[in-house]
Amino acid sequence: MNKIMNLFSLEGKVAVVTGANTGLGQGISVALAAAGAHVFGVARRSCAETLEKVNEVDGKFTEVIADLSDLSAIDIIMNEVHKSVDRIDILVNNAGVIKREDAINVSEAEWDLVVDLNEKMVFFLSQAVAKQWIEDKKGGKIINIASMLGFQGGIRVPAYTASKSAVMGITKALANEWAQFGINVNAIAPGYMATNNTTQLRNDQDRNEGILERIPAGRWGTPEDMYGAAIFLASEASAYMNGYTVAVDGGWLAR
């Protein structure tokens, strides 16, 4: 049994998690650190709370401050990580933004803000890390954070829906090209999670009740609900998984 359970160990691995200062990124950082990885958490604000939570599980966490709305952040991330370690083993593209607005009123600036962070950064940060993996022939793991709205249209979030649908497509496309190099590219599609991105929905009594009525599990998800899927996709246990999006949604899509 120990040999099988060792497949889930991340001991000695280095993980980069974007959007690590709060919400799902914070939860994923804690999970990977608890499994043994040295986590480099990227955010434009302090990750002090995440560091505290990682310390509680006796994990290792290093903060990297970078504004992921601009591609210049890629060089900052790579340079900061490589000051301490030789290579990255795991990349979690979690950082994202959502803007709620009627489709008829969405501006170009709002659209670009969402798509640049949620889609463009995911691709080019993955590309930067994969270049090193292909060069050193050691492979690696990419986990993209998609969304239920990669499967559905949603309401008042057209740019977010477009970007998260693209994340699922990018996951498949990169898996097709990079699996031959020992690079696994997969995604997690969280359901309705109790994070800062959903505060507005949870504060709307009608929407909140409507959402809860449809979730078979009967509750909003939490960052802790992401632990298992994140560790699985980051570990050798998922070595033959490529291009797949795992839904962690309390049964929402099955309803």
Catalytic residues: 160
Q: Which residue has the tokens 């969280």?
A: 190
Phi-psi region of 213 (alpha: psi -120 to 50; beta: other; left: phi over 0): alpha
Residue 87: Cβ-neighbour burial (10 angstroms; 0-12, 13-18, 19+): middle
What whole-number distance in Å separates Cα of residue 17 and Cα of residue 28? 8
Q: Which residue has the tokens 């292909």?
A: 134
Other Cβ atoms closer than 10 A to 196 = 9
Q: Shortest CA distance to 192 belongs to which of 162, 151, 159, 231?
A: 151
What is the sign, positive or negative, of the torsion defined by CA atoms of 165, 166, 168, 169? positive
What whole-number distance in Å separates Cα of residue 123 and Cα of residue 45? 22
What whole-number distance in Å separates Cα of residue 152 and Cα of residue 254? 13
Task: List the beta bridge partners of residue 97.
Answer: none
